[in-house]
Every structure is written in structure tokens, then in C-alpha cells.
Amino acid sequence: MDISQLRTVIHVAELGSLSKAADRLRIAQPALSRQVRLLEDELGIRLFDRHGRGMVVTEAGQEVLRHAHRIMGELEEIRASVADEDAPLRGHVSIGMPPTVSDILSVPLVSAFRARHPDATIRIVSAYSGYLLDWLHRGEIDVAILFESRPVRSLRSQSLLEEILYLIGPAGSDLHPDQPVGFDSLAERQLLLPSTGHGLRNILEDCARERGVRLDVRVEADSYSTLKNLVKSGHGLTILPLAPIHEEIGAGQLTYAPITDPVPLRRLMLTYPSDRTTPRLARFAAATITATAADLVGRGIWSGRLLDAAKP
């Protein structure tokens, strides 16, 4: 087993194709195929399922891939540790975010990497917190934005932002930014919300229990883009942060109202595995996320409160 074989596995897994990996690495395809085959022979497992449309990592291959990413990350850290602090970095970093946050931060994050570390590869994983937690533990992502939950010894977290949730309606609804809606009155409205167990739904159900009301949820959808489209089509109201629907509000496609007594809030945390050193690329990603959040809050696009660790 050698570094070139591990690098090949990573690129083939990412691109799903030997030919695409060969083009990226500028190595003849038969040579790459031989590297994969030799590693499979040595390990006694099949790393990829081959089919007409490409190559898919097997379950055993996923485990090898996880270790390969960690080994390549450690090698890059060795290079980075002796390099100029301001020198552009190479290597790979994986960042996990909930879908509503990914839509806000993906573009500025990629722009920052292109400007500062153009030779680095960045993977943005958009998924719900339960999946992100699992991938953090397994070493498949380096840093994640998670909604606050009970502390876990194997992870360390840094406070980022306390986000305000609003009642969202279609254009022409009776909602207005200057007219707050009492939480109790939500019991009289048809709501479209994520399913039970989803973090946002849990926050709202906790508020409902606090007030002794029952939410009237006629449709459940775990995709926030689906929720937006259903609201636009007049099928009900939903509750979301404003940042990911900033453009729709500006275009007059959606409207909103603050919710009071209580104000539903959710706290975002930057979270890292505590059993290994955080790579410099992951630290750069976290710093960019923190600066972007501060900028968006300052400009009123991301409605919420920066927490102490994220304040400039």
C-alpha cells in the first residue's frame, strides 16, 4: 500500500470514474486501474462496484476511504506546519452544514477558498444534524455547523449564532414585518413544518408545550425548498429563518412576521472532532464562516444575534 494508491482511491470515489480521475491526476487510465486493483488484492476486498456508468464505492471501500482522507490530511498538515503561515494551502477539507445554512454560506465560503487557497479542494455536505454528527465521528467531515444539542465528549463546539425564526407566508397574506404574531395564535393557522424529530420542529413543539397550545400541522416536509414552494403556492404557512429566503422576500414572493411570546430561537455551533488536530484548511473554513455570519448579521440579512465566540 502506498500514498499514490490512496490518492487514486480518493479521486475515483469523488468523481465516480476512472477516466475522470485519470484526467484530473494526469495519469494514464490503465495505470490508475492497476493501482486500484493492487490495493484491492492486498486488502482482500472490493473497493468499488463497477457498472456501465462508472464506479461506486462499496461499504468496505467507504471505510478505506475514511482512513485515506485522514492520512492525506495528516500529510498535508506536515507540509503546512513547515510552510509560511500566509502561503496558500493544498489538500482537501470537508465541511458539513444544515440545508438552510448551506444556502447562505456555500457561495462566500467557496469564493474565499478560491481567493486564498486555490489549489485546495473543498467538499460541502448539506444534511441534517444527525447525519453530520455521525460523519464527524467517523472522520468523513472535518468541521460542521450544528444546531445546539447536549454536549458530546468526542466533539468540541464553538458558539456561532442565535438565529430567530419567523412565520412565513405567500405574497398577499396578512403577515407583515411590523406586525408581530403571538405564538398562541399559531394554533389557528394551517402550518407546513418538518416532521417530528427534526431540530426545527422540536424547537417549535417545545414552545407550543410551554404555551399549552397545539400546532395545526397539515403537511410535513423535511426539505426546506419544498416548504418554500408549498407556501408560495398558497398551501399554508411555515416557520423558518429569514436568511435562506432573503431573495424571495426581496422579490415579493414571500412575506413574514415576527413571532412573540415566546420568540422561537435556535443556536448554531461550529463543531469539530476532539480526538484529532483540526487541519489548517478546516480552521480557515471556520474563520470564513464566522466572518461571513458577522457580516450578514451586521447587514440585516441573517436575523439573529452573534454569540460571544463569533463576535469580531
The per-residue pLDDT for 243 is 87
Which three cell numbers, joined as nine digits, stand for 19?
A: 477516466
Residue 43 and residue 64 in contact, taking contact as beta carbons nearer than 8 Å: yes
Rounded CA-CA distance 279/285 in Å is 10
pLDDT tens, 101-160?
Answer: 998 899 999 999 999 999 888 999 998 888 888 888 877 888 999 988 666 777 888 899
pLDDT tens, 239-294?
Answer: 999 988 888 999 999 999 999 999 999 999 999 887 777 888 888 999 999 999 99
Query: Domains in the chain, start-ordered, CATH in brackets?
Result: 3-62 (1.10.10.10), 87-161+267-310 (3.40.190.10), 166-263 (3.40.190.290)
Rounded CA-CA distance 145/129 in Å is 8
How many C-beta atoms surround the C-beta of residue 126 within 10 A? 16
The per-residue pLDDT for 211 is 94
The per-residue pLDDT for 143 is 93
The per-residue pLDDT for 79 is 66
Q: Is the pLDDT of residue 311 over 60?
A: no
Percent of all residues in the chain with a pLDDT value above 90, rounded to a whole number: 42
What number is the average pLDDT over the span 299-309? 82
Cα dihedral 122, 150, 153, 286 sign: positive
Q: Is the pLDDT of residue 82 over 90?
A: no
Q: How confident is the model at residue 196 (pLDDT cuts 50, 70, 90)?
A: confident
Q: How confident is the model at residue 86 (pLDDT cuts 50, 70, 90)?
A: low
Rounded CA-CA distance 69/251 in Å is 42
pLDDT tens, 93-117?
Answer: 899 998 889 988 999 999 999 999 9
